[in-house]
């Protein structure tokens, strides 16, 4: 399909996208199995876990962007496949480490890796995925030639630097308890943390693999940037509205984590100082921990002994037991508090504001794509790239 | 000094080593400041923290090995400096992530990065150091030529893979509660987890930077491997005997963590099945957490209320308070238990066994160095490499 089908019917966009993404995803998973030495006897557990996130239900947006860009520019699938697979590997490594850093409980509908296997294993699996990403890019010299292979390595170096800087920026906001942040602050963070590895680099690398260079790469990159910003804002809106199962994250997940989204920042800028103080107090609380800490049985035994010895009444024992079971070990966010945050957002139309900002960025992306369309010959691959702009809106429905 | 001084006097080895290591370390720190964009306004906090571990008191063994190997083979300082710096960056990134994974409290005499700044920041700082290591290796093409630069990249890819596999092996032992492990199992783990990034790759990369190839690189690598194994075993012995301040880790640190050292595995193979069961029970317990969790004041208030209401006697209240203060929130290793483990090691001469094994590997390293000495011209750099074998013993004193 990647080579032949053309799209006349705009209502077929969703179908085209689904088919194209699925095909890229299966090619990349196949390549991933070649890169990950699953049979290495040294560390079978390590390599099984490296496939865990990639094999979970996912869109496979990044590999599709890379492959479509390369092919739209006349490059071969072979030239794009290895870099596309490496980008998918990076993406999943970032997810694993991000999930630890954000204390996320679910990823794509299943427990996060660190919850299933512990933080030490999850850190190391992410590191292993970074480690394995270098060799395929070096082996790629044969498929794309020395010059492009080195430029792809440079692009990946830039990408990883942008990603960790974006992550550092967000962690720094958390550390400082910073809430007076503008839309521009948010956009800068998302550009670094998400756009570079999810949109800009996949397209730039695809273009390099097709031996493209110069100004046209800049034009593609600026389209990718705007599309990525729109995508992330829309993603945060979906996260808030989504349900477990259909979206793969827990309900209101970002609010539980206190993640700084465009919506939340908008709300914090517009509420009364009283409400902001209360919201800050809530946001700083941790989410409820998934495991209820087991109480030492020793306490029960001691209460029984005190009753036997006449130092405690049966009523007193009952009340101490109840208090123990009711009291959280540390203060945590409650559902009421999260609902309070949601009500503040509704009152100030923060979600509506986010959707308008997302739409502006999407229109910006469409304008930037029109520039590229001037020199990109018609093909299903160009259709895919263009179709992504409507996909951002389609998936909201 | 790196260029000129020669060593006639064997008793001057310690002095030669100290001076050579110190000089390499200061060159590498200078280069590190060039690689880390300290002034980047995006994430100043991130880049300050990347220098935290590297600036702590350290030997700087890896950069010295890399530089000495390159120069001993006639290569220039310039050719080795950037790869040596990148290896130092990797080393410190591994340390940051390892410290999280091992729940270590101290590193080089100060709190570990995750204890000082939280796990999320520490994971990201490590990732950032991995991210920044790629570009200098690409920029290195000018200094060493394309072929060697690509071979250095391949060597680094191999190194990172070996390191994460070694780490996975150890984490897998922990996960499975595996204790019936031989000296050979231990050596295989240490070779992957430590020797590759601390000894083998620094020397191999130094040799490649000097445009060396073929069999001689293999001979240097096999010397590095044996030296590294001896070094790590000796390091574990020092860790057990060391004191806070002089060694930079807490007393008996590895035993508190339950780290599988050659000594501990030897002891576990030789104790009675009763003692082994008890030792396993102790080793599985976590170390005491550094923070004592604050007790909810609410409990005190409730006890007072129960006394007022006649449901609890004053004696009963006193006993409940004492029990609460005495009981750890979760079972943790106690100093008595760690001393028990130490006594089992002493009874079975496990430390003596480790020292003998370390000495055997050191002699093996010396034999392997003699092969290299056959084709390495005399120089202070060759002296440094040779001197390291006695350094492993010297530092034990």
Q: Which two tokens stand for residue A348?
A: 């100030």
Unique residue bearing structure tokens 């160009």: A382
Fold designation for B13-241+355-394: Farnesyl Diphosphate Synthase (1.10.600)
pLDDT digits 0-9 by tens, A211-250: 998 899 999 999 999 999 999 999 899 888 764 444 344 5
* pLDDT value at residue A109: 85
Structure token digits, residue A92:
């999943």
Residue B342 near residue B291 (C-beta atoms within 8 A): no
Helix (H) or strand (E) holding B269: helix B262-270
pLDDT in tens, A250-272: 556 678 888 899 999 999 999 99
B126 CB neighbours in chain A (<8 A) are 127
- Best of A161, A197, A297, A328 to disrupt the B interface (most B CBs within 10 Å) is A161
How far is B74 from A83, CA to CA, in rounded Å? 37
CATH class of A12-244+356-394: mainly alpha
Backbone angles phi, psi at A7, to 5 degrees: -120, 115
Which stretch of DSSP H or E encloses residue B107?
strand B106-107
Across all residues in chain A, what is the average pLDDT?
A: 87
| Mutation to test the A interface, candidates B95, B100, B161, most A Cβ within 10 Å | B161
pLDDT digits (tens, 9 = 90+) for A123-158: 999 999 999 999 999 999 988 999 999 999 999 999
The SS3 of residue B110 is strand
pLDDT tens sequence across B210-226: 999 889 999 999 999 99
Longest dimension (CA), chain A: 90
Q: Are B8 and B380 in contact (CB under 8 A)?
A: no
C-alpha span between B228 and B196 (Å, rounded): 8
Yes or no, beta carbons of B168 and A119 under 8 Å apart: no
Residue ranges in chain B whose pLDDT is less than 50: 1-9, 243-249, 291-295, 397
CA angle in degrees (0–180, nearest 5) for A155-A161-A165: 145
How far apart CA A257 and CA A318 sit, in angstroms, is 35
- The confidence score (pLDDT) of residue B7 equals 40
Chain-chain contact of B138 with A153 (C-beta, under 8 angstroms): yes
What is the per-residue pLDDT for B106? 87
- Condensed to tens digits (0 to 9), the pLDDT of residues B64-123 reads 999 999 999 999 999 999 999 999 999 999 999 999 998 888 898 899 999 999 999 999
Report the distance separating Cα B389 and Cα B397, nearest Å.
Answer: 14
* DSSP single-letter state for residue B312: B
**How far is B386 from chain A, CA to nearest CA, in Å?**
31
- Whose CA is closest to A82, among A127, A22, A142, A31? A31
Q: Do B138 and A123 touch (CB under 8 A)?
A: no
The domain limits of chain B are 13-241+355-394
- Check pLDDT > 70 for residue A10: no
**pLDDT given for residue A155 in this prediction:** 97
């Amino acid at each position: 399909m990647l080579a032949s089908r053309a799209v006349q019917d705009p209502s077929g966009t969703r179908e085209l996208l689904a088919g194209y993404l699925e095909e890229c995803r299966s090619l990349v998973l196949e390549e991933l199995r070649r890169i990950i030495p699953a049979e290495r006897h040294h560390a079978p557990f390590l390599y099984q876990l490296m496939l865990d996130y990639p094999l979970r239900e996912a869109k496979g947006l990044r590999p599709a962007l890379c492959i479509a860009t390369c092919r739209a520019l006349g490059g071969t699938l072979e030239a794009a496949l290895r870099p596309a697979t490496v980008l998918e590997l990076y993406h999943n490594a970032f997810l694993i480490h991000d999930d630890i850093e954000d204390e996320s409980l679910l990823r794509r509908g299943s427990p996060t890796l660190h919850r299933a296997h512990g933080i030490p294993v999850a850190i190391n699996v992410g590191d292993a995925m970074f480690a394995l990403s270098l060799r395929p890019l070096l082996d790629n010299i044969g498929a794309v030639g020395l010059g492009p292979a080195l430029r792809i390595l440079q692009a990946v170096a830039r990408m990883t630097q942008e990603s960790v800087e974006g992550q550092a920026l967000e962690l720094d906001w958390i550390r400082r308890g910073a809430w007076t942040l503008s839309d521009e602050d948010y956009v800068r963070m998302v550009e670094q943390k998400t756009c570079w590895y999810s949109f800009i680099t996949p397209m730039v690398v695809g273009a390099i693999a097709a031996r493209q260079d110069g100004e046209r790469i800049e034009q593609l990159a600026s389209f990718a940037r705007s599309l990525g910003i729109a995508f992330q804002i829309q993603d945060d809106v979906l996260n808030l509205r989504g349900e477990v199962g259909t979206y793969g994250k827990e309900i209101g997940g970002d609010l539980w984590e206190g993640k700084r989204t465009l919506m939340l920042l908008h709300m914090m800028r517009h509420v009364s100082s009283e409400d902001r103080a209360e919201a800050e107090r809530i946001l700083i609380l941790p989410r409820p921990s998934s495991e209820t800490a087991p109480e030492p049985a020793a306490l029960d035994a001691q209460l029984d002994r005190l009753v036997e010895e006449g130092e405690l009444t049966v009523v007193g024992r009952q009340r101490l037991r109840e208090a123990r079971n009711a009291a959280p070990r540390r203060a945590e966010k409650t559902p009421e508090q999260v609902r309070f945050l949601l009500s503040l957002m509704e009152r100030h139309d923060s979600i509506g504001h986010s959707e308008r900002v997302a739409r502006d960025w999407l229109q910006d992306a469409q304008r930037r794509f029109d520039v590229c369309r001037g020199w990109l010959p018609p093909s299903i691959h160009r259709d895919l790239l263009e179709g992504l702009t409507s996909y951002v809106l389609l998936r909201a429905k």
